[in-house]
Structure 1
């Protein structure tokens, strides 16, 4: 896992930073290995679960080309319906010889293998897009008229709505941590309700996804916010995921930019984000995918989120499922991500290209006045009575 934030860094600088961090980690890894050899216990061997050859043969015969045809469905809902039907058919025909749990596992293994084969052989997405092609994008602003700012960003089956709320400096978030900072004037909160992925579950407190994705979006947006001197407001963004089919965190980053511009926040530059995927084969064969869907994320080898402006990167997050990724693949991914980011920024600019000239009429107004030194005592009043009556 790699997490990073930057102030519009170039792709070459970001790659150099990743390589520098990798080299620095070698000393730590070496120390850990020495410690393990000196005092560690033998590792518990865990054998990878495998599908029984007989069951694998039955699944292959039963499914035939049906699985490939199902994956060819252009929409997520249609694809899931066909796959669910094939899964049920497999259970019904094999339930006398194998348990449902065994059939489920074998079906998933066969599905994953078919998805990876489809991507590697076709050099394209599961839904038939080119490897570097982005799903259709739709943007809107001002959907919520009484909110200080709102932006809707949709990319394929992923859709987020971000709301901006402006407040005074007294509404900054109080921090009770070990760092030097005591308050925070910019917050990005991310909500992922169960209905966004077609599930019915209890809505509880923020989990790993909500906290992590919220922090990633916050890191991506922070470098382009105006200084407190130029814009003395506390800014809170809330991204509501309405529909999920891959990279809702990057969609919330795009929605945040739209919402901030709609709210009249004078940002330095728009920010967009994209998720890159990877599928590897034998002998170094690989395919880098731009704008991965949920199914490609689940069955692929990499989830590489890159956010930034037209000038450079502001945040990135890299998660891999293989032993390592070659720096050439990372360089290729960053270059491909930049092309996608510029395309998304262009689409966003067609909806709103710059921040509105003023803030919403429903947002609080902050006015600054200069008081002569000789009048400060009058403002404070006897025992601070006057200043308290103004501020409380």
Structure 2
């Protein structure tokens, strides 16, 4: 067993290997504060020959026992991964994947399990550290290490690995991964910060990343690890020459074709032609020939941009594709917008709901509800293909979460707009930047629904082509530029600043200077898009007639019980009588939702009646609910009663209550007393004219004894 420790950002980080999961190729336990995760890595002995990609699987799981909880549901065990677990798996995968050898096709699996959580030190950011350390201690070939940290900012001060409580107060929060030289992955959100503030945060994060990498190297130096040799078969020189001869200048011509479909068709025709012509000479080398053609196509595509500054669709590096915006195209929905940028198109629909539509989140550390969420769908038809449907892919979850975080800072406060908001982005066409089209369409769709956004939000995807000496930063990248380029850098925000950021690299890193240039170019592109969005929809619409009407009222928390009533009697009656949905929070906020405004107002008045504080002298129209020998109980508002004593029914003497009122009779009464226990005494006679010559009968003094000398009952416990 080997243990290495170091203080990281004011807390001890501990790496341990050799005690658990010893049959794994590599396994490391990472502890930070009192949060512990286990990372175990394994790879198949032989490569898969039937694929043309690297089969890496990263799985992050939070066990409920880690937080001292039992999972909900019927089976009481963890089932499919939650959205947070999927997002953490993606954030862990992205910086690790580019560091495996090119051509490595051995199936590789990285399993990260949260074993214990103190509820404050976040386990997700430890996943990258654990995966890197486990890969370093394994024999699997990998060009690491890397490390991950979370950086937040509170009142202008940057904090590394803020606690869960501190994150709630941050106006900037990013998960950053990097190597010894630079940053390689970023996933973050902010409340409209500047590009320079983002860069400052990344630089501070990188300093701590280098410390964690040193700790991993300490662990590795205490071990004797020999990496497996990877033999990547090289194609025959004669076959390479034959392929290059057949290609000729075709690649240069194809990469200049503007239309995506035409370019794809031309490439497919070229591939088919070359395969047919070389089939006799190399009958079993079809995959290798395709791979060589792809390599030449990639090189030609990149060289055109680096050499001429012109892209395949004719744009310069900073140009944005033509944008068209159509709002309110689905009038029966609560809000809708069609955002088209070049060959990328998003149909985004907003639905407004009530509190019962909130999403319930159950995690190892906390349970809460979300009143805003965004879902992203990427059907196969958007790229003209067929494919598997019926489940939500990790990519769809990741893109939806990015767009959701981008729009969140611009949402109105709940008190001003007490709706649950669901946004759905349906990608109709895709040729790059569909997640950023979802941000733009989501902002427009919210305005279409009547949501008073603080400002529009727009997003843009930046790319990079570099050969080490020449660099080209691309604005609003195409799908091919994403696939064949070196960077996918998504930046979203308002005119005031950045609200969400996501950086993925396919190379080992870029300098902060290049990152600064990309951020500045993204800023200019974002302002251009925001101008078009503001022109298309400068102000929010009125709320759709098909959306529910939601009203809210604050009541004294001590009156919540009175509003609900015994067994929910009172609140059920309001719901039944008004056909509205009524919800009350622990802080006394009562929300009324319904399709009819008049009915909502009626429900509000009923809530007020149940929860108001009656004062002596007030008059009410009530109903007799119960007859007793000593008086009648009157319901003066739904669910609330008071007593009219028999002596307060008439000015004249009343022998029997039933002589004056009966159960169900309407009665007008006046409040004459509220005792120390909150019981209400009413009078009917106080509202009647006093008979002429009426003489008040003297009241008999109350005896201090126990009423008739009877001893009080004794309580008995059985």
* TM-score, normalisation: structure 1: 0.95
Q: Counterpart in 1 of 2:230?
A: 46
Give the corresponding residue for 1:185.
Answer: 371
Equivalent residue for 1:332, pick from 504, 514, 517: 517
* Residues 123 and 130 in structure 1, CA contact (< 8 A), matched pair in contact too: yes
> 1:41 offset after TM fit, Å?
2.7
8 A contact 1:224–1:269 mirrored in 2: yes
CA deviation digits over 1:70-111, x for unaligned, max 9?
111111011111111101111011111222111111111111
Match of 1:318 in 2: 503
* Mapped pair 1:281 → 2:467: yes
1:125 corresponding residue in structure 2: 311
Which whole-Å CA distance do the structure 1 matches of 2:212 and 2:233 have between them?
A: 32
Q: Which residue of 1 is the match for residue 15 of structure 2? A: none
Q: Deviations over 1:305-329 (max 9, x none)?
A: 0000011000000000111100000
**Separation (CA, whole Å) in 1 of partners of 2:206 and 2:529:** 31
Closer/same/farther in 2, CA of residues 169 and 199 from structure 1, 3 Å limit:
same
Which piece of structure 1 moves more, 345-354 or 85-94? 345-354
Task: Describe the SS at the equivalent of 1:175.
Answer: strand
Once the two structures are overlaid, the 10-residue window that deviates more, 308-317 or 368-377, is 368-377
Name the structure 2 match of 1:77. Answer: 261
Whole-angstrom distance in 2 between the partners of 1:123 and 1:188: 37
| Shift of residue 204, structure 1, vs aligned partner | 2.5
CA contact (8 A) 1:220 1:271 kept: yes
Q: Secondary structure at the match of 1:130?
A: coil
What is aligned with 1:154?
A: 340
Deviates more, 1:252-261 or 1:375-384: 375-384
Task: Check 1:227–1:257 CA distance in 2 against 1; reply closer, same or farther (3 A cut).
Answer: same
* Paired residue secondary structure (2:362): coil
Residue 170 of structure 1 is matched in structure 2 by 356
Shift of 1:52: 3.3
Alpha-carbon distance between aligned partners in 2 of 1:133 and 1:258, rounded to the nearest angstrom: 22
* Aligned mates of 2:567, 2:533 — CA distance in 1: 54
Structure 1 residue 369, shift from structure 2 partner: 4.6
Contact 2:189 2:501 in 1 (8 A): yes
Distance 1:185 1:91, change over 3 A: same
Instruction: Tell me how far apart the structure 1 counterparts of residues 217 and 560 of structure 2 sit (CA, whole Å).
Output: 65
Aligned in 2, Cα 1:49/1:122: closer, same or farther, shift over 3 Å?
A: farther
After superposition, the C-alpha distances for 1:274-300 in whole angstroms (9 at most, x for unaligned) are: 000001124x31100001111111111
Unaligned segments of structure 2, at least 5 residues: 1-184, 576-580, 582-718
CA shift at 1:26, angstroms? Answer: 1.0
> What is the aligned partner in structure 1 of residue 274 from structure 2?
90
Gaps of 5+ in 1: none
1:47 CA drift (Å): 4.6
Query: Does the aligned pair in 2 maintain the 1:126–1:296 contact within 8 Å?
Result: no
**Could you tell me how far 1:37 is from its partner in structure 2?**
2.8
- Higher strand proportion (structure 1 or 2): 2
3-state DSSP class of the match of 2:508?
Answer: coil
Quick check: 1:248 aligned with 2:434? yes
Deviation at 1:144, TM superposition (A): 0.8
The 3 A distance-change label for structure 1 pair 127 and 50 is farther
Map of 1:25 onto structure 2: 209
Other structure's SS at 2:524 match: helix
What is the CA-CA distance between 1:301 and the residue it aligns to? 0.5
Counterparts in 2 of 1:143 and 1:61: CA distance versus 1, 3 Å: same
Aligned to 2:478: 293
- Judge conservation of contact 1:51–1:105 (CA < 8 Å) in 2: no
Partner of 1:203: 389
Structure 1 residues 316 and 50: CA distance shift in structure 2, 3 A: farther
Task: Find the counterpart in structure 2 of residue 12 from structure 1.
Answer: 196
Q: CA deviation at 1:59?
A: 2.0
Distance in 2 (CA, whole Å) between partners of 1:249 and 1:302 is 16
Which structure is richer in relative contact order (CA contacts within 8 A, separation 6 or more)? 1
Between the two proteins, the alignment pairs up a number of residues equal to 390
Q: Distance in 2 between matches of 1:21 and 1:197?
A: 38
Aligned to 2:321: 135
| Residues 339-364 of structure 1: CA deviation (Å, up to 9, x unaligned) | 000111111122112222x2111000
Alignment correspondent of 1:362: 546
Q: Distance in 1 between matches of 2:231 and 2:456?
A: 48
| The structure with more helix, counted as a fraction of residues | 1
Is the 2:418–2:551 Cα contact (8 Å) retained in structure 1? no
CA offset digits 1:105-164 (Å, max 9, x no partner)? 111111111111111101222222100001111111111111100111111111111110
In 1, Cα distance between equivalents of 2:399 and 2:346: 13
Matched residue of 2:273: which SS?
helix
Over the aligned positions, Cα root-mean-square deviation in angstroms equals: 1.9
By how many angstroms is 1:176 displaced?
0.4
Q: 1:373 to 1:173 in 2, by over 3 A?
A: closer
Asked whether 1:352 is paired with 2:537, we answer yes
- TM-score of the superposition, structure 2-length normalised? 0.53
CA contact (8 A) 1:55 1:106 kept: no
Alpha-carbon shift at residue 376 of structure 1 (Å): 7.7
Structure 1 residue aligned with 2:240: 56
**Cα distance in structure 2, aligned partners of 1:372 and 1:219:** 34
Asked whether the equivalents of residues 277 and 292 of structure 1 are also in contact (C-alpha less than 8 Å), the reply is: yes
Distance across 2 between alignment mates of 1:372 and 1:181: 25
**2:418 touches 2:552 (CA, 8 Å); kept in 1?**
no
